[in-house]
Structure formats: C-alpha cells, structure tokens
Amino acid sequence: MLGVVTDTGEHFVALTPDSFTAKVSKHFLRALRYRFGKKLVIVLDNAPYFIAKDLKKQAAGDGLLLEYLPPYAPELNPLENCWLQLKAARKNLLFETIDDVKRFLTATIPRLTTPKVYHYLC
C-alpha cells in the first residue's frame, strides 16, 4: 500500500497486488499527477523504489518535483501517523485471506485522522 496526504488534508491510497518496485512507484506518481494536477511537489522517504533513477527521470519529464526526507527520520513523515492508526485498528485482528485485509483497509482508511502536513513542514 502506498499513501499520500496533501497540505489540504486530502489523502490518496493505492493498494498494490505485488511488491513495491520502481515500476509500481512510477505508476503511483502518474496516478498522483492525474488525481492532484500537473504541478506537484512530492515529498518521499528514501525507500529504494522512490530513489530509482528511472523514477526520477520520469518525474522530471512529467514536471514533478521530488523532494526527499532525511534518511532515518520517520518523525518527519506525516504518513507515519496514519500507519500508527492502522496498526492500532488492526490490533488483535486475524486476517485469514488477502480479501479480509483489503476489506479491513477499505473500511478503515477513510476513518483515519489526516495529519496536518503544515505541522511537519514548519
């Protein structure tokens, strides 16, 4: 699952059926561009699939500005708050199938409290 939260509190989540790769991330960036517009500054962590050369090349060609958080600084990433909420919500739950996980995520994600990005930037 890849997620985004905007400075206005909007969020966007993409569930991926396979592991994360630069190819999946490239599709994700295109989805963000489609969803939020052509002029974007995207702040990313340093996951290998976000720092791939192909991804950076595509982003530059699409007019997207990629900025990266410092390594090993999850406290600067607003989405970490969302992951903590998801972990708390799934506490003591057993998922028997991937469909159970998808149903849980589909029901839970809209109820998450969206962090105020401004507090992370200033």
Structural domain of 117: 2-121
Q: Give the C-alpha separation, 93 to 22, whole Å.
A: 31
pLDDT tens digits for range 64-120: 889 898 888 878 877 788 888 889 999 999 999 988 988 998 888 888 877 776 666
- Per the structure, the count of domains in the chain is 1
Q: Which CATH number belongs to the domain containing residue 45 in this structure?
A: 3.30.420.10
pLDDT at 76: 81
Q: What is the pLDDT of residues 47-66, one digit of tens each?
A: 888 888 988 998 898 888 89
As beta bridge partners, residue 14 has 2
- Give the pTM: 0.72
Sequential DSSP letters for 59-110: HHHTTPEEEEPPTT-GGG-THHHHHHHHHHHHTT----SHHHHHHHHHHHGG
In this predicted structure, the answer to whether residue 121 has a pLDDT above a threshold of 70 is no
How much is the pLDDT for 57? 92
Distance CA 112, CA 82 (A): 7
